[in-house]
Structures are given as structure tokens and as C-alpha cells.
Amino acid sequence: MPESSHPKQFPRPITQGLTFDRVSFQYPHEERVAIRDFTLTIKPCEHVAFVGANGAGKTTLVKLLCRFYDPTGGRITIDGTDIRDYPIADLRGAVSGIFQDFVKFQLSAKDNIALGVRASDVDLATVTQAAKQAGVHEAIERLPKGYESLLGKLFDGGHELSIGEWQKVALARAILRDSQILILDEPTSAMDAKAEAELIERFHELAQGRIAILISHRLSTVKMADRIFVVDRGQIIEQGTHDDLMRQQGLYATLFLTQAQHYQ
């Protein structure tokens, strides 16, 4: 991605919010448009959720926000400035994502959590604090060498964690980076319902005072969001709180009731 030749200072705190301003996007060499004319403002400290079918474009929106790609039309702004005008490192430092295909770093538990933070800024107490907040401290303490234990099965002597524990490690990493924007992108595919509910609850708690974007196709997990956006083929087709959307009796309400049947 090209760096701006006259980069602006990234705001801290963000005071006006994050805006997708008529954003369109087409992946290189793809005929289909992934995002079309997408407009949305997220206020500081607001927690929003994107829901919608597989392939609707939810993850693409996040990739654009992180500048893994630039929009082919429109722009994304933070506090009114195009994100292309901020230093890329500052932008990416401000955004912490826990992604669907998150990486299992074959490192010690401590290094897994501290990754992405300047080494001089991290001591064990800070790492432990983040692990506690993410709810994975006990699991790490149970390992033979505690925070020095090697995670993953790639190397001899490594310890495999459960999917839920790996995701909490990723959450701890996000906490430690102290980013202003937190993203949780469908982290829960392999988790049981109880672990999922716990992770989402922690996510909301830890994201207090920050912008949070929660992405899921399971509607039971997004009820807590301030606003929910139903994305379909790269566009917003419904929006509101859970109660608003249920009253609208549109796609969200239909999907919610269909999914709820599976739980009864």
C-alpha cells in the first residue's frame, strides 16, 4: 500500500468517528463487486455488528479498514481524514483484529500475547494482566512452564490449546496493544455456545470506551451491539438495534427466528 507523502497525525482519542463514505470495492481480477456504495458512520465508543450470509462482504470491510486493500470507489475516514492520509503503521496500530483464520504463533505463551508491542514496553505483569482480562490466565498457569511454555504442536515440547483458548490468547494480544478500534471477526466457528457467549461478553467489556466491530453470522451473539447492520451482497439492507430489527420483520427477524429454533 502506498504511504502518503504528507501523512497526518493519527488522532488519539478518535473524537468524530469512523466513516465508510460511499465505499465500493472489487478484488483484483474479480468480476464481482464485493462492496457497493457502502456508507456508515461509527461513533467513538460505539459497538456495531455486521451480520449477513457468507460472502456478503463483512470481512472485506475490515480488510479495507486495515488497508490491506484500498477502496476502488469512495473513501474511509477517521475523524474526517481519509485513512490513506495517515501513516499505515499508526492506522494498523489503532486497529486490533481477531480474525477467523487467526494465527497460532508457535511461540511461548508470553510472546504470543506480547507480539506486536515494543519489547521494552512489556513485562510479565502486563502480559499476565491482559491474559486475566481475556480469561486465559488460568489455562496458561496450568501449563508446565506457565507463561514460558511453548504453544502449538509444531515444535517438540509444545502444548496445544483448545480453539477457545487460542482465541482468548488472540484477545489478550489485542488488549495489550491498547488499540482504539477492536474487531472480532466470526471467531466462534469451532466454539461451543457457552464459550462463545463468554468470549463475546468479554469482548464487549474490554471494548468499553473504544470502537468495536463484531462480525457474526450467528445472530444470538450480536444482540448486545449498539447498532446492527445486515449486509447482503456488499450493501447494508437493514440496520438498527436488535429490537428495531425484530420489529421491522425483515431479513434479520426471519434469520433470528430461524436460528432460534435450533436452540429450542
Ligand X SMILES: Nc1ncnc2c1ncn2[C@@H]1O[C@H](COP(=O)(O)OP(=O)(O)O)[C@@H](O)[C@H]1O
What is the binding site for ligand X (CB under 6 A)? 27, 30, 32, 34, 52, 54-60
Q: Give the contacts of 100 (CB within 8 A, at least 6 positions apart).
A: 59, 185, 186, 187, 189
Binding flag, residue 216, Mg ion (CB under 5 A): no
3-state secondary structure of 20: strand
Q: DSSP string covering 129-167, please?
A: HHHHHHT-HHHHHTSTTGGGSBBSSSSTT-BPPPHHHHH
Closest residue (Cβ) to Mg ion? 59
CB of 118 to ligand X, least distance (A): 31
CB of 190 to ligand X, least distance (A): 16
| CA–CA dist 215, 61 (Å, integer) | 10
| CA–CA dist 115, 151 (Å, integer) | 13
Which one, 161 or 231, has the nearer CB to Mg ion? 231
Binding flag, residue 59, Mg ion (CB under 5 A): yes
Element (H, E) at 172: helix 163-176
Which one, 30 or 243, has the nearer CB to ligand X? 30
CB of 237 to ligand X, least distance (A): 13
CB of 217 to ligand X, least distance (A): 8
Which one of 12-20, 55-63, 130-138, 203-211 is the stretch in contact with Mg ion (CB under 5 A)? 55-63
Q: Which residues bind Mg ion (CB under 5 A)?
A: 59
